[in-house]
Amino acid sequence: MTVPPQQGPTAPKPNPGRPHPAADDRRGSPRVNAPFTVDCVAGAAILRHPLINLSDGGVFIGCAQPLPLDSEVTLRFALPEHPAPLTVRGKVVWTNPHAGRFFPQGMGVKFLQVPQEHRAALNRYIQSQLGSDAGGDPAKR
């Protein structure tokens, strides 16, 4: 028996240019708030935007005009207690051109290449935030 597709006001709205993050969430590591700015280099353009959150696998960047999916970028941002800005290569894997109730406007960038010393600094920052968010309780991490 074939079930007809869902119709009406509760039917999901297809959006072929923007995969929904909950539909295929492959993040294997936690995200933490990232109250920093990031320089996003795409081609000859250098764009400065706020970081919303980060994990060891990527970042979400708040911006009014996200780059197209699959755009490769170089990101530069500073972490507290790290002497030099981090520079990582990434690819736009999710965009949200319109702010909504559940997802802010911006783009998700998956890290493609992170130098080892930058990965260590990134992981230290994430662990420090997880410890402070969870009140130091490892069961809440």
Model pLDDT, residue 27: 52
pLDDT at 38: 96
pLDDT at residue 103, rounded to an integer: 79
CB atoms within 10 A of CB 121: 19
Question: Does pLDDT of 132 surpass 90?
Answer: no
Query: Residue 1: inside a domain, yes or no?
Result: no
User: For the domain that residue 73 is a member of, what is the CATH number?
Assistant: 2.40.10.220
Q: How many angstroms separate the CA atoms of 7 and 10, rounded?
A: 7
Are 88 and 113 contacting, i.e. CB atoms less than 8 angstroms apart?
yes
Could you tell me the residue range of the domain that residue 107 belongs to?
A: 32-131
67 is written with which tokens? 């780059």
Interstrand relation of 72-77 and 45-55 (parallel, antiparallel or unpaired): unpaired
In a domain, residue 83? The reply is: yes
- 8-32: per-residue pLDDT in tens? 333 333 343 444 444 344 556 789 9
Over the Cα atoms of the chain, what is R_g? Answer: 17
The pLDDT score that the predictor gives to residue 68 is 94
DSSP per-residue letters across 17-52: TS--TTTT----S--EE---EEEEEETTEEEEEEEE
Task: Classify residue 136: in a domain, yes or no.
Answer: no
Q: What is the pLDDT of residues 76-130, one digit of tens each?
A: 999 988 888 999 999 999 999 888 777 789 999 999 999 998 999 999 999 999 9
For residue 12, is it within any domain?
Answer: no
**47 occurs within a structural domain:** yes
Give the Å distances, CA to CA, from 70 to 18, 36, 89, 91, 112: 11, 24, 12, 6, 12
Per-residue pLDDT tens over the stretch 52-87? 999 999 999 999 999 999 999 999 999 988 888 999
Handedness of CA 29, 113, 43, 26 (dihedral sign): negative
pTM, to two decimals: 0.73
Q: How many domains does the chain have?
A: 1
